[in-house]
């Protein structure tokens, strides 16, 4: 679609709060929505907050420069959870991003606007970021594909950070092939889509032993997971809590380090949830941070070794479907299946599972640096699940 067509659609569906601003860029496309923590020349970068100066960026972030060489036209800056520090996109400054399947439910976060824009045809694909699940969770809740590549695949310069050690950029798209081509436009990767994808019968898959039973799945998610995970053997994998604890310690301190000056000078300009997380980060001991970084390096080696001989492992994205806006969630559950893979740094594609209720997302996880193989696996699963 053209950028004008995309913006017209975004204005028509403005009640979903998918965008903070729209551009005036022209071109034949693809029309791309960009999460509003990435610098796009001529637009103000808000990061979903009200602290950054309201001054238009004078240059594109490197990822935007690269996308433009592939013909991408930025049609708007998508809304998000404030400073990408949350998984609902309930933004106190710009309004909650609303789920297209039920506007009373969250879109997921922090790349909520990007997911809604894709789900409702407001763009051809969207750019999101992922530090603990921020591409995969909104993709799952909105029923689209989300691609978190291997850590370091996409340049994060010119992007407001959350946790520099774990931040990644990646696409959200209506299908796997589009997501793969979008990642090619964002990075140096090429030829991600095979000429002849494998079939489901050719794949060797696994499920991390004991993980799926550690978080209570709601009925819709349990039914979807039961269908797609049936018969897949469990395999040894690093402990989920061990991964989670290392990741949260690093995130809390790195986020606080970036926000410390503002947090001390203008704490009232943060939403309540983000302010509480920054307060928590201020209390993380430096020694704990160093220990977590060392633990991360060990876990990455263990995780890649655990996938030896496998094409991918599968897990739900979230233990439940999109919750209601304002619903109080049990601490640690929403990112319980996603945060570990920001610690391992491995590539993950979130796929819509076959379901008759609200959307359910399934993570397809590969070894670090194997995006091409992971796309092959995801295409096979997508074809099977769409036919079922």
Which SS3 state, helix, strand or coil, does residue 314 take?
A: strand
Measure the CA–CA gap between 338 and 166, rounded to whole angstroms.
Answer: 12
Q: Exactly one of 79, 89, 110, 114 is catalytic; which is it?
A: 110
Measure the CA–CA gap between 175 and 197, rounded to whole angstroms.
Answer: 14
CB 113 within 8 A of CB 35: yes
Q: Is 368 one of the catalytic residues?
A: no
Which SS3 state, helix, strand or coil, does residue 25 take?
A: coil
Establish how many alpha carbons lie within 13 A of residue 345's alpha carbon, considering only the half-sphere containing its beta carbon. 20
Q: What is the CA radius of gyration of the chain?
A: 19
Measure the CA–CA gap between 212 and 219, rounded to whole angstroms.
Answer: 14
Sign of the dihedral through C-alpha 9, 14, 20, 22? positive
Measure the CA–CA gap between 287 and 266, rounded to whole angstroms.
Answer: 28
Q: Exactly one of 134, 187, 318, 368 is catalytic; which is it?
A: 134
Q: Exactly one of 35, 114, 129, 368 is catalytic; which is it?
A: 35
Region for 47 from its dihedrals, namely left if φ exceeds 0, alpha if ψ lies in -120 to 50, beta otherwise: left
CB 112 within 8 A of CB 130: no
Q: Is 148 one of the catalytic residues?
A: no
CB 340 within 8 A of CB 211: no
Q: Is 110 one of the catalytic residues?
A: yes
CB 142 within 8 A of CB 100: yes
- Residue 154 structure tokens: 């996409």
With CA atoms as reference, report the closest residue to 80 among 125, 126, 41. Answer: 126
- Residue 160 structure tokens: 């407001």
Task: Return the DSSP state at 317.
Answer: S
With CA atoms as reference, report the closest residue to 171 among 118, 131, 122, 120. Answer: 118
At residue 25, what are phi and psi to the nearest 5 degrees?
-65, 145
- In terms of Cβ atoms closer than 10 Å to its own Cβ (0-12, 13-18, 19+), residue 96 is buried
Q: Which residues pair with 206 in a beta bridge?
A: 313
Which residues carry out catalysis?
35, 110, 134
């Amino acid at each position: 679609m053209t950028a004008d067509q995309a913006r017209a659609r975004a204005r028509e569906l403005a009640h979903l709060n998918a965008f903070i601003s729209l551009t005036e860029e022209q071109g034949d496309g693809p029309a791309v929505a960009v999460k509003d923590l990435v610098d796009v020349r001529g637009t103000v970068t808000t990061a979903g907050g009200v602290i950054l100066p309201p001054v238009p960026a004078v240059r594109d972030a490197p990822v935007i420069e690269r996308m433009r060489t592939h013909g991408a036209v930025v049609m708007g800056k998508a809304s998000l959870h404030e400073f990408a520090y949350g998984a609902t996109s309930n933004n106190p400054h710009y309004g909650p991003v609303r789920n297209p399947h039920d506007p009373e439910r969250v879109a997921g976060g922090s790349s909520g606007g990007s997911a809604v824009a894709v789900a409702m045809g407001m763009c051809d694909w969207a750019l999101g970021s992922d530090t603990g699940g921020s591409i995969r969770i909104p993709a799952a809740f909105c029923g689209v594909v989300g691609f978190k590549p291997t850590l370091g695949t996409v340049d994060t310069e010119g992007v407001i950070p959350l946790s520099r050690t774990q931040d990644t950029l990646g696409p959200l798209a209506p299908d796997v092939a589009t997501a793969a081509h979008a990642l090619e436009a964002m990075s140096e990767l090429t030829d991600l889509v095979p000429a002849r994808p494998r079939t489901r019968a050719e794949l060797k898959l696994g499920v991390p032993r004991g993980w799926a039973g550690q978080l209570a799945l709601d009925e819709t998610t349990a039914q979807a997971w039961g269908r797609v995970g049936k018969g897949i053997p469990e395999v040894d994998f690093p402990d989920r809590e061990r991964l989670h604890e290392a990741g949260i310690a690093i995130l809390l301190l790195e986020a606080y380090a970036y926000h410390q000056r503002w947090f001390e000078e203008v704490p009232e300009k943060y939403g309540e949830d983000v302010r509480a997380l920054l307060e928590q980060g201020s209390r993380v001991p430096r020694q704990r941070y160093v220990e977590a970084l060392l633990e991360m390096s060990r876990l990455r080696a263990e995780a890649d070794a655990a996938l030896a001989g496998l094409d991918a492992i599968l897990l739900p994205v979230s233990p439940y479907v999109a919750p209601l806006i304002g619903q109080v969630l049990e601490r640690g559950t929403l990112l319980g299946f996603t945060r570990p893979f920001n610690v391992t740094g491995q590539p993950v594609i979130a796929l819509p599972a076959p379901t008759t209720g609200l959307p359910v997302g399934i993570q397809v996880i590969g070894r670090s640096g194997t995006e091409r193989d992971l796309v092959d696996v995801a295409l096979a699963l997508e074809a099977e699940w769409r036919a079922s």
